[in-house]
Amino acid sequence: MTEFSPRGAGVAIEVRGLRKRYRSTVAVDDLSFTVEPGMVTGFVGPNGAGKSTTMRIILGLDAADGGTALVGGRPYRALARPLRTVGALLDASAVHPGRSARNHLLWLAQSNAVPSRRVDEVLDLAGLAAVGKRTVGGFSLGMRQRLGIAAALLGDPAVVIFDEPINGLDIDGIQWIRGLLRSLADEGRAVLISSHLMGELEDSADHLLVIGRGRLLADTSVRDLVARASGDRVAVRTGMRTEAMTALADTGALTTIADGETVTVAGLPIERVVALLTHHGVTFSGVSAHRASLEEAYMELTRDAIEFGAVERDERAAR
């Protein structure tokens, strides 16, 4: 990225058996995962799933009730120069409104032994060079997000943790952050970003940690998650729907009429479907494996967590 190359690239985040409770609320429930260097890991789950709490614990801002959260093999508080190891954006509004963006970064740099020339580098990197002298009070949410990201990158850290970084950004901002996340990962850094919207992560993340009610629901590559959700579902376009269903009836596969011309088949590989239809003289104009969208896969995984939240809210409203 700069001559300030990331010492310690190759550093991972390791979370093991993490637990956190706030009174009767279990926020994090026996969570274990590793965030590998060199890739963008998306941390996704519905509102209240425990993402921010987990990030706060990794950053030493909250104490766990059990388990460990290590960065480069150490708890955050044991890092000699934390800003140079981990850069984080948690709450973009947590900046003194009367300070200029540049002075805010200078103050952070000085208190963390980061050379002041780095301030102009990160202002530039975040697209804020032209507004560095303006006070933060007049910044839009998107500009504050950029300033928060500039601050996180001050120490050229090997690990970056951004909580909902896409929130509040316009289309240009979203494109910019996607490119930034990719280049940070390509430089060998471990990149962890949270979102409650799977769609935001679809084009950004290589790997996904899906969380619901404080528990890990999936630890998977984007590709595997979609493949698993798609299962063995095949769509057959045919004018001989009844004959097609009869031909497949004895196989134990579940066949349904999807629309006027399509029969979907669950539980049978595509080659078997084609072989059986051909054997029974059923003609068809197309056969394709059904590909679930990432959003469908995510909804499937988090359905219970969302329903639980809705039930809780309903109960509270009824009281």
Ligand X SMILES: Nc1ncnc2c1ncn2[C@@H]1O[C@H](COP(=O)(O)OP(=O)(O)OP(=O)(O)O)[C@@H](O)[C@H]1O
Integer angstrom CA distances of residue 14 from 33, 68, 73, 207, 232: 6, 8, 8, 15, 34
Under the criterion CB under 6 A, does residue 47 sit at the interface with ligand X?
yes
Under the criterion CB under 6 A, does residue 50 sit at the interface with ligand X?
yes
Under the criterion CB under 6 A, does residue 49 sit at the interface with ligand X?
yes
Under the criterion CB under 6 A, does residue 51 sit at the interface with ligand X?
yes
Tell me, by CB under 6 A, how many residues bind ligand X. 12
- Nearest-10 crossing angle of helices 101-111, 117-125: 130
- Piece in contact with ligand X (CB under 6 A), picked from 9-17, 22-30, 231-239, 281-289: 22-30
Under the criterion CB under 6 A, does residue 53 sit at the interface with ligand X?
yes
Under the criterion CB under 6 A, does residue 302 sit at the interface with ligand X?
no
Under the criterion CB under 6 A, does residue 215 sit at the interface with ligand X?
no
One of 134, 196, 237, 290 touching ligand X (CB under 6 A)? 196
Of 192, 94, 180, the residue nearest 141 (C-alpha) = 94
Minimum gap (Å) between residue 174 Cβ and ligand X: 18
Minimum gap (Å) between residue 40 Cβ and ligand X: 18
Of 8, 312, 4, the residue nearest 158 (C-alpha) = 8
Minimum gap (Å) between residue 278 Cβ and ligand X: 50
One of 6, 37, 42, 45 touching ligand X (CB under 6 A)? 45
Under the criterion CB under 6 A, does residue 48 sit at the interface with ligand X?
yes
Integer angstrom CA distances of residue 254 from 121, 208, 248, 266, 267: 59, 30, 9, 5, 7
What count of residues does the chain have? 319
Minimum gap (Å) between residue 209 Cβ and ligand X: 11
- Piece in contact with ligand X (CB under 6 A), picked from 46-54, 118-126, 154-162, 178-186: 46-54
Which one, 135 or 167, has the nearer CB to ligand X?
Answer: 167
For residues 283 and 218, give the distance between their C-alpha atoms in angstroms, rounded to a whole number. 40
Q: ∠ CA(23), CA(24), CA(30), 5° rounding?
A: 95
For 56-84, letters b (16+ CB in 10 Å) and e give bbbbbebebeebebbbbeeebeebeebbb
For residues 63 and 21, give the distance between their C-alpha atoms in angstroms, rounded to a whole number. 10
Which one, 192 or 247, has the nearer CB to ligand X?
Answer: 192
Which one, 45 or 155, has the nearer CB to ligand X?
Answer: 45
Minimum gap (Å) between residue 166 Cβ and ligand X: 12
Dmax over CA atoms of the chain, in Å, equals 78
Q: Are strands 262-266 and 39-44 parallel, antiparallel or unpaired?
A: unpaired
Binding site for ligand X (CB under 6 A): 22, 25, 27, 45, 47-53, 196
